[in-house]
Structure 1
């Protein structure tokens, strides 16, 4: 049976490839799991249209992410916190705090996209990467100062 792969499958081919497989493998595994579609004249046209739409959407998302990256490039956030001995904070600056500060400045960034390995618990200047799209990240400076 001739099929068009909807995703990369090891040992079979890459997304969009037209390959020939056993009828049972196609009917019982690939087609029900939406990993492939049967390669008929109409399905090939539908796949090409979907692929064009996906690429177009991806380009728009990348462009908006790059625009946001350029806007975030100069953003600097400042948090003041109480500190104890040896400049250790009594609390910590978390992803939620950074998200709220960005939202207050007009940047709508999801919490899961702020790449903070662990909460900030010391005074200083930190560069926190914000993931915007596949390979588009924006560094945001976070200043933690004494209250």
Structure 2
């Protein structure tokens, strides 16, 4: 039986794919759980229209991400944290710290898009990645400095 997947299914395909499966699997598992619909002409047309809309939305998101990446190019942000002996931080620098520092520069970024190569627990300059879209990423400099105590 041919069905159109309405969700990504590992081992079978992705949203919008037309796959052949056994009739019992389709009728007893995929269709009742909303994972697939029968591959009729009407359903195929409907899914193609949904895919077109999704592609347009993804293109808009990608353009926004590319504009954000242009803003982020060459940016150096500074984060101040309490420091113990030998320049070692109490805790570590988090994605929220980076987002806050970027917000102070007028750049809005989701904290989930900030990627650290490793935990930052020392004072120094680091290169981190901001990935606002799965196809767009930009590296920025993070300068970790000791917090001044008065």
Q: TM-score of the superposition, structure 1-length normalised?
A: 0.82
1:44, distance to aligned residue in structure 2 (A): 0.9
1:40 and 1:70, CA in 2 relative to 1: closer, same or farther beyond 3 A? same
Q: Alpha carbon RMSD of aligned pairs, Å?
A: 2.3
Q: Which whole-Å CA distance do the structure 2 matches of 1:145 and 1:15 have between them? A: 47
The structural deviation recorded for 1:141 is 0.8
Q: Which residue of structure 1 aligns with residue 54 of structure 2?
A: 54
- Count of residues paired in the alignment: 145
3-state DSSP class of the match of 1:139?
strand
Alignment of 1:1-147 (within 5 A): 1-6=1-6, 7-10=8-11, 12=12, 15-81=15-81, 83-90=83-90, 92-116=92-116, 117-118=118-119, 120-146=120-146, 147=148
Q: Helix, strand or coil: the match of 1:27? A: helix
Q: How far apart are residue 63 of structure 1 and its match?
A: 1.3
Structure 2 SS opposite 1:37 = strand
Return 5+ residue gaps in structure 1 as ranges: none
The structure-2 alpha-carbon separation of the partners of 1:81 and 1:2, relative to structure 1 and needing over 3 Å to count, comes to closer
TM-score of the superposition, structure 2-length normalised? Answer: 0.81
Moved more, 81-90 or 94-103: 81-90
Say if 1:26 and 1:82 are closer, same or farther in 2 by CA, change over 3 A: closer
The unaligned stretches of length 5 or more in structure 2 are none
Residue 88 of structure 1 deviates from its aligned partner by 2.5
Query: Which structure's residues are more often strand, by fraction?
Result: 1
